[in-house]
Amino acid sequence: MQFIIQKKLLLISILFFAFACFLSVFLYRNISDNEKTLERIEAEWRTEATHREDAEFLIRSIKSAENEKALLEAHFIKNPDIVPFLDLLEDSALEAKAEFEVASVNIMENSSSLVVEMKASGTFETIYKLLLLLENSPYELEFASVDIQNQNLNPQKIPASPGVGKTKKEIPQWEAVYKIRLLSFIL
């Protein structure tokens, strides 16, 4: 009887061992399949991350190009929109502290350029400063003519130094006529 019990136990042990081996092989294959699936998913994730980084880089490049385009377009004036250029002339005259007046604005028929004639008056320093400010403007300008004349007939009297009210010094007034051709003009 003991022998039969031992045979039954041996048979149960062999069956349990076979079941454990089968279970181990089954779990090993599942783990291998899961590892392969994980590797495939990680590869897809890396590919998607690379695509996302490329898309973000492209978006940043487009924004940078838009900023550069806007900066470049700031140097050009379109035909119906000459107001910013005239505002620049006025702001430059105010910064130079010169009296300013636009005499004429003409669009040349045979070329794509705008001609502005302006008059300014003030001291020689203000007239010269206005000329320098216009030369350093963001637009491509060509000075067709600059006529600067001393107006000795009407000198302006101002105090010689601050705080001294009685001493007067005559400062000659100058008048300038600028004929400016705007080369960066788009029809």
Tell me, yes or no, if the pTM score tops 0.75. Answer: no
The pLDDT tens digits of the residues spanning 128-139 come to 898 899 888 888
Please give the mean pLDDT across all residues of the chain.
83
Looking up residue 97, the CATH number of its domain turns out to be 3.30.70.60
**Domain identity same for 16 and 104:** no
> Where is pLDDT greater, at 111 or 35?
35
Is residue 95 located within the same domain as residue 59? no
Model pLDDT, residue 150: 85
**pLDDT value, residue 187:** 44
Same domain, 81 and 47: no
- What are the phi and psi torsion angles at 34 (to 5°)? -65, -40
Query: Are 23 and 63 within one domain?
Result: yes
Q: Are 84 and 55 members of one domain?
A: no
Query: Per-residue confidence at 55, pLDDT binned at 50, 70, 90?
Result: very high
Asked if 92 and 166 sit in the same domain, the reply is yes
Angle at 67 between CA 66 and CA 71, to 5 degrees: 115
Number of domains in the chain: 2
10 and 68 together in one domain = yes
User: Which residue range(s) make up the domain with 136?
Assistant: 77-186
